[in-house]
Structure 1
Amino acid sequence: MIYLIDGSLEGLLCAVFEWFERKPGKVMIQLEKEHQPDAFTTVFPVSNDEKKADRVWKGLQRKLNKGWMRRVYCTFLSETPEAYVSLFEFACYIFSSPNGAEANYGNPHVLAVAQTAKKVEREKHRMEAFIRFQHTADGMFYCGIDPDFNVLPLIMQHFKNRYADQQWIIYDLKRHYGLFYDLDKVEEIQMDEARLKTNYKPAENLLSEKEALYATLWKDYFKSTNIMARKNTKLHVQHVPKRYWKYLTEKQDK
């Protein structure tokens, strides 16, 4: 049997609820958008129900500590088909086992959740380290990103605390939504794609007149502090992978 979900966390939690409610045996988790119907497989479309999802989430909170709950959430934010399967199997395993089952890394689903969460956390830390804002003419600080995973919910608090005195937008170009901080709160927004260029910058005519000066000053500072005799490109790329260079002002001429 195939359980079809819409890809939301609520839908995934409802799938766990339905499995325990119906006890259908072995099932497969698939996203609705990826399902290919056939004549030989029984399909059960999982309907989202806030109350059912809330019961499952609270049940996990009773079984798992905060660290593992964060791993569950991070794995969900990876948005991979394998992650949905791992989370479903993990939750079923946790509810069917005595307390402490999450420590059994011999279980493939426990291991998969832990490893996937670690990858998402690594992407989160890299976004926090490598994001560079550009100052637009309307006084907004903007940065467009395209992370491997949906890390905006994870980096929101970091940037709200670090840049509390300025308005900013961090926009996920791959997932077509972003975060807007208005000096008071952070809100989720969607922007007109016509305003966004594929080189991760706002339209040139929206940039502040001082932005070019800021960029030049930063590049000059970076060059002046760089010691060529100690240059180690291999080590540098290990710490700052090339796919993140597009976010760094000091790398724009490379």
Structure 2
Amino acid sequence: MSADGMVYYYFDGSMVGLLNCVFRAFQFKEFQVQLCFNEGAQHGLFSTVVEIPNNEHHAQRVWSAIQQRLSQSSLRQFYFAYLSESLDAFQHLFNYCIYIFRHHHSVEKNYAHPSVLAIAQWAKKVGREKHRMEAFVRFKKTTDGLFLSLVRPDFNVLPLIQPHFKRRYQDQCWLIYDEQRKYGLYYDLHEIHEVSLEANEIDRNLASGASQSFQLQLDEQEELYDQLWKDYFNSINIKERQNVKLHVQYLPKRYWRYLNEKLI
């Protein structure tokens, strides 16, 4: 152990890796731990550094124990916070696990504990991004009948939004592709599949940020609908009454890229 009593766990940022951090902590009674990502992590000269392997069996044991200790709502918060992909959130999730396992009574609602409060806050942020993606994602129909949308959410919310789009677009083949994380969800009219591919195979305009200006050939009707919607938006828009500050408050600029009327 380092002179300051701190141990550093290096892991890959996956759920399996995080749960293995918890397993290792109890295995060696190391509860004052700082989590670090494998890549680019730095530590002091006298620090104790531990590389955490991805052991599926150990991860499953920890997850089963968490399920026994937490309610469904708290498990949902745990998963939402994990999807933030933030090292700060991962640290709180680790500390949270240590906290709940070292107490025999339920502590999941003790918001006086910093990690209990932080997880609730992270879950709220991820939940807000989920709802915004469900509201603002727009599809464009290509000539081969595929409905395609490219997104770049702040958090990894694709696993959370797939039930919404499966219910809403059951009769269409669609692909929602996360440009930042380089994977997508493809619905083939029966099941949803997770797919990985290079973004430039979908859209050569990614580098310019014009993500909805697909290089793929659009269906003729899609181009017509695009123009009709833009014309409609222009016709009802009263420029003299525009309140840009209020507009941005309810519809942040980072979502404009998904909306046809913002691509005029």
Asked if these proteins are the same fold (TM beyond 0.5), I'd say yes
Residue 29 of structure 2 corresponds to residue 23 of structure 1: yes
Aligned twin of 2:228:
217
1:206 aligned residue: 217
Q: Which moved more, 1:125-134 or 1:43-52?
A: 43-52
Q: C-alpha root-mean-square deviation of aligned residues, in Å?
A: 1.7
Give the equivalent residue in structure 1 for 2:15: 9
**Match of 1:110?**
116
In structure 1, distance between residues paired with 2:214 and 2:257: 16
Partner of 1:44: 50
> What is the alpha-carbon distance in structure 2 between the residues aligned to residue 28 and residue 131 of structure 1?
37
Aligned to 1:75, the other structure's residue is in SS state helix
Shift of 1:225: 4.5
**Which residue does 1:85 correspond to in 2?**
91
CA positional deviation for 1:194: 2.4
Would the alpha carbon gap of residues 37 and 108 (structure 1) be closer, same or farther in structure 2, given more than 3 Å must change?
closer
- Are 1:63 and 1:99, in contact at CA under 8 Å, matched by a contact in 2? no
Identity in percent: 48
Is the Cα contact below 8 Å between 2:212 and 2:258 reproduced in 1? no
TM-score when normalising by structure 1: 0.93
Q: Looking at secondary structure, tell me which structure has more helix per residue.
A: 1
Residue 239 (structure 1) aligns with: 250
Determine if the alignment matches structure 1 residue 134 to structure 2 residue 145.
Answer: no
**Amino acid in the other structure paired with 2:62:** V
Divergent runs of 4+, >4 A:
224-231
Asked if 1:163 corresponds to 2:163, the answer is no
Report the secondary structure of 2:219's partner residue.
Answer: coil
In 1, Cα distance between equivalents of 2:104 and 2:238: 57
Change (3 A) 1:236 1:201: closer
CA displacement, residues 69-114 of structure 1 (integer Å, 9 cap, x when unaligned):
1111111111111111111001111111233311111111111111
- Residue 149 of structure 1 corresponds to which residue in structure 2? 155
Residue type at the aligned position of 1:157: P
Q: Distance in 2 between matches of 1:70 and 1:41?
A: 34
- Hey, what's the Cα distance between the residues in 2 that align with 1:143 and 1:99? 46
| Distance apart, 1:230 and its partner CA | 5.8
Deviation at 1:236?
A: 2.2
Does the CA-based 8 Å contact 2:212-2:257 persist in structure 1? no
For structure 1, list consecutive stretches of 5 or more residues without a partner in the other structure. none
Structure-2-length-normalised TM-score = 0.90
Counterpart Cα distance in 2 of 1:88 and 1:123: 23
